[in-house]
Amino acid sequence: MSAPRNPTFLPPPPLVALASWLIPGAGYWLIGQRVRGLVIGVTILLLFAVGLLIGGIRVVDSPLMESVEQRTERLNEEAIALRNNSSYRPPTLPVRALQKPWFIGQVLAGPVSLVTNYIGVTWGGDRGVPFSHARVNEIGVLYTAVAGMLNLMAIIDAAYRSSNEGGR
Amino acid sequence: MVGTLLAATEEFRPFWQPLPVWDYWYLLLLPLCVGISIVYKSIKCREMKQVPREATVIFSMILLGMLAAAGGLYVLMRLLER
Give a yes or no: residue B42 inside a domain: yes
Give a yes or no: residue B20 inside a domain: no
What is the count of structural domains for chain B? 1
In which domain, by residue range, is A72 found? 7-163
d(CA B49, CA A61): 38
Q: Do A35 and B38 touch (CB under 8 A)?
A: no
d(CA A21, CA A25): 8
Distance (Å) from the C-alpha of residue B58 to the closest C-alpha of chain A?
16
What is the count of structural domains for chain A? 1
Give a yes or no: residue A168 inside a domain: no
Give a yes or no: residue A153 inside a domain: yes
Give a yes or no: residue A2 inside a domain: no
Which of B16, B19, B38 is opposite residue A39, by nearest beta carbon? B38
Give a yes or no: residue A106 inside a domain: yes
Give a yes or no: residue B67 inside a domain: yes
In which domain, by residue range, is B77 found? 25-81
Q: Do A53 and B22 touch (CB under 8 A)?
A: no
pLDDT (tens, 9 = 90+) of chain A, 168 residues, equals 555 555 568 899 999 999 999 999 999 999 999 999 999 999 999 999 999 999 999 999 988 888 898 889 989 998 999 999 888 888 888 888 888 899 999 999 999 999 999 999 998 888 888 888 888 999 999 999 999 999 999 999 999 999 987 777
Give a yes or no: residue B5 inside a domain: no
d(CA B28, CA A143): 9
ipTM: 0.86
